[in-house]
């Protein structure tokens, strides 16, 4: 595979780099795997550990049991909280049910939780940019439910009403479109000049890097294929970003079985990428399919290097240390 800094000349397939697993997803998946190795099956997981059906199916085959709520978990059992985070009320419920908890919340999501608590304690009303019903949004909103208003899209800003001089701040879900989020913030600041920014950008590095990479390839692509599940916010955003960046067509697929051969008719250059919770073997399957259907050359278009790693949850590290003596 050839690595190119820019998607100019080369083969018919431009492969985005970076793509796939981010540090938070890698940590969460390994957490469940290590918990199964250490405690044995079953290990319960509240919600999908990450938003990818193949990852969930593979862990379920190893003995993980995925539940929607903690009342489905037997008292005293081990439960892992997903990478998307949970509200304080979930921690309280777990304690009441005497559950052994392992918190696999992505540290970048935990950072947003800390910011929500701090802003609320300082008397700010928080405008949380995100998608209603997403687990991450529910977890963040649960940190200060009386002090948070959800803003889903830029046009929602016009509906907001606050007293003159109200102390306002904004936070965001970590997996949003960078461009749309910044447009929402711009509109918020126009209406509320006193708006306070978070200490640092909430949209995670991996989400931003994958959007930058897909923009790079989309402008010259007849077709962009995004591998990722339908409930993966960052995967869905990649399709939107690709189309906005000039791709003639863009589709999201869970795996190669969903790739429609008709999409390839008359297509020259194809861009391929994947969301932050997608194992790379699913992408390789797509590349193999494309090679078998007249698109044999894959050129990697690298726009960033990622080396960030997160330590496993402390409660798991402690038990691993005890078990290994």
Catalytic (active-site) positions: 136
Q: Is 320 exposed, middle or buried (0-12, 13-18, 19+ CB in 10 A)?
A: middle
What is the CA 291 to chain-centroid distance, rounded? 29
113 contacts: CB under 8 Å, gap ≥ 6: 85, 105, 139, 140, 143
8 Å CB contact between 170 and 127: yes
SS3 12: coil
Q: Residue 273's closest CA among 325, 319, 311, 232?
A: 232
Distance CA 83, CA 29 (A): 9
> Taking CA 131 as the corner, what is the angle to CA 130 and CA 135, rounded to the nearest 5 degrees?
100
Nearest to 212 by CA among 234, 241, 249: 241
DSSP letters of 113-143? Answer: HHHHHHHHHTTPEEEEES-TT-HHHHHHHTT
CA dihedral 246, 249, 255, 257 (to 10 degrees): -160
Residue among 196, 218, 58, 202 at smallest CA distance from 129: 202
DSSP, residue by residue, 77-118: -EEEE-TT---HHHHHHHHHTT-EEEE---HHHHHHHHHHHH
Neighbours of 243 (CB within 10 A): 15
Closest CA to 315 of 26, 25, 39, 23: 39
């Amino acid at each position: 595979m050839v690595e190119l800094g820019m998607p100019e000349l080369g083969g018919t397939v431009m492969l985005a780099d970076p793509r796939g697993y981010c540090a938070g997803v890698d940590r969460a998946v390994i957490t469940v795997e290590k918990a199964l190795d250490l405690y044995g099956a079953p290990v319960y997981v509240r919600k999908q550990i990450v938003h990818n059906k193949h990852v969930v199916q593979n862990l379920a085959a190893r003995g993980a049991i995925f539940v929607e709520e903690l009342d489905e978990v037997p008292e005293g059992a081990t439960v892992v909280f997903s990478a998307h985070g949970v509200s304080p009320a979930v921690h309280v419920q777990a304690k009441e049910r005497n559950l052994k908890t392992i918190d696999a919340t992505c540290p970048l999501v935990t950072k947003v939780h800390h910011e929500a608590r701090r802003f609320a304690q300082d008397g700010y009303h928080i405008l949380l940019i995100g998608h209603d019903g997403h687990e991450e949004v529910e977890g963040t909103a649960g940190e200060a439910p009386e002090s948070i208003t959800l803003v889903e899209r830029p046009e929602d800003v016009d509906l907001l009403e606050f007293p003159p001089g109200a102390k306002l701040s904004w936070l965001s879900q970590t997996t949003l479109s960078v461009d749309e989020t910044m447009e929402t913030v711009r509109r918020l600041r126009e209406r509320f000049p006193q708006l306070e920014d978070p200490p640092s950008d909430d949209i995670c590095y991996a989400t931003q890097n994958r959007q930058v990479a897909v923009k790079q390839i989309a402008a010259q692509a007849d077709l962009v294929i995004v591998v990722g599940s339908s409930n993966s916010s960052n995967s869905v955003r990649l399709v939107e970003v690709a189309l906005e960046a000039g791709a003639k067509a863009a589709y999201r697929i869970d795996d190669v079985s969903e790739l429609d051969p008709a999409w390839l008719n008359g297509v020259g250059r194809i861009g391929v990428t994947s969301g932050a919770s997608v194992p790379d073997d699913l992408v390789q399957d797509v590349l193999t399919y494309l090679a078998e259907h007249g698109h044999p050359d894959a050129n990697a278009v690298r726009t960033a290097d990622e080396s960030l790693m997160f330590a496993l949850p402390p409660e798991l590290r402690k038990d691993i240390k005890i078990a290994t003596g």
